[in-house]
Amino acid sequence: MAVRIGNIDLGEFPLLLAPMEDVSDPPFRFVCKQNGVDLMYTEFISSEGLIRDAAKSRQKLDIFEYERPIGIQIFGSDIDTMREATQIASQAGPDLIDINYGCPVKNVACRGAGASLLQDIDKMTAMTKAVVEATHLPVTVKTRLGWDDNTKNIYEVAERLQDVGIQALSIHGRTRSQMYKGQADWRLIREVRRNPRIRIPIFGNGDVDSVEKAAAWRMEYEVDGIMIGRASIGYPWIFREIKHFFQTGEYLPGPTIAERVSVCRTHFEKSIQWKGEKTGVFEMRRHYANYFKGIPHFKEYRTRLVSLTDVAEIHAVLDEIGEQFAMEEVA
């Protein structure tokens, strides 16, 4: 059965690209979309930044028609600020607004925001209600199991947020205290899903990094869809591989070197188009190693890729990688 968020039809068992700061920007989203992802989100955007009209926050509102359906994710600690930020974000024309109640970091931006709200469910509920009332768009939430081992309150959180009108919930199977350590535990996600009061889609998130795991956890934890973050960095093919398996029961072979080069190049070109040459070149540096993970002797190429500043020279190195390794692939 198709999964719906408001009027948005996500098809059967959708795959979602997790919001990731400094990663899930338009260039990265482009290559994920090419690989069949069903729903994407922007990086999280500070509500304070938005109402102050900070350039960095504004730029993150950029979305493109081909990205639909797409959600803009916002976070904040103050309810009035969140209300105002919701209105600004809605004007950017996304398909939905997502609230971040999962950020575990204690820096200035996240103080009192993100996962902190898991310590104050009354405030979290009031904030969510304010956001729902401030926009004509569906509102979704992304959060964690709870604050720490003693307060895994996601069951209650899910009910209360549904009651104030959220239309889907993505749950990262860790607590705030766990940060990114240990393993994600999806058992409570299943409990939320099994709660007879819950009518909204529940998406499972945390540690899905293979077709096998996606297939096993879909069955075991009964979620309505899966959200994938880290495993897609440098490997957007994970979406098409999982989708293919679900559609046919067969495993798709991994990308060839030529495909890796081609998608990495597309990502690079989109980065330059969207960010300008200097920032595009610079920010692409964090992605090269991921695109070519597992390829022996890649280090020397990586060293060159991350030190070059000239666009044509970077393209030439990508050409070289294609030629060099394609020969080895055949041999």
Ligand X SMILES: Cc1cc2nc3c(=O)[nH]c(=O)nc-3n(C[C@H](O)[C@H](O)[C@H](O)COP(=O)(O)O)c2cc1C
Catalytic site residue 103?
yes
Question: What residues are designated binding site?
Answer: 73, 142, 172, 229-230
Site for ligand X in 225-264 (CB under 6 A): 228-231
224 is a contact residue toward ligand X (CB under 6 A):
no
Q: How buried is 222 (Cβ within 10 angstroms: 0-12 exposed, 13-18 middle, 19+ buried)?
A: middle
207 is a contact residue toward ligand X (CB under 6 A):
yes
Q: What share of the chain is helix, strand, coil (3-state, %, to 5)?
A: 50, 15, 35
43 is a contact residue toward ligand X (CB under 6 A):
yes
Rounded distance between C-alpha atoms, residue 125 and residue 118, angstroms: 10
Rounded distance between C-alpha atoms, residue 78 and residue 92, angstroms: 21
User: Do 42 and 34 touch, CB atoms closer than 8 A?
Assistant: no
DSSP run (H or E) holding 132: helix 121-134
Query: What is the smallest separation between the CB atom of 293 and ligand X, expressed in angstroms?
Result: 15
Q: Which of 208, 261, 284, 314 binds ligand X (CB under 6 A)?
A: 208
Q: Which of 83, 129, 142, 275 binds ligand X (CB under 6 A)?
A: 142
| 3-state secondary structure at position 231 | helix
| 3-state secondary structure at position 119 | helix
| 3-state secondary structure at position 144 | strand
21 is a contact residue toward ligand X (CB under 6 A):
yes
| 3-state secondary structure at position 248 | helix
116 is a contact residue toward ligand X (CB under 6 A):
no
For residues 46 and 90, which CB has a smaller minimum distance to ligand X in the complex? 46
Contacts of 217 (CB under 8 A, 6+ apart): 186, 204, 208, 223, 226
Site for ligand X in 185-204 (CB under 6 A): none
213 is a contact residue toward ligand X (CB under 6 A):
no
Query: What is the smallest separation between the CB atom of 272 and ligand X, expressed in angstroms?
Result: 21
Q: Which of 4, 6, 11, 20 binds ligand X (CB under 6 A)?
A: 20
Query: What is the smallest separation between the CB atom of 144 and ligand X, expressed in angstroms?
Result: 8
Query: What is the smallest separation between the CB atom of 269 and ligand X, expressed in angstroms?
Result: 22
User: Do 206 and 175 touch, CB atoms closer than 8 A?
Assistant: no
Question: What residues are designated binding site for FMN?
Answer: 73, 142, 172, 229-230
Query: What is the smallest separation between the CB atom of 266 and ligand X, expressed in angstroms?
Result: 21
Positions marked active-site: 103
Contacts to ligand X by CB under 6 A: 18-21, 23, 43-44, 73, 100, 102, 142, 172, 205-208, 228-231
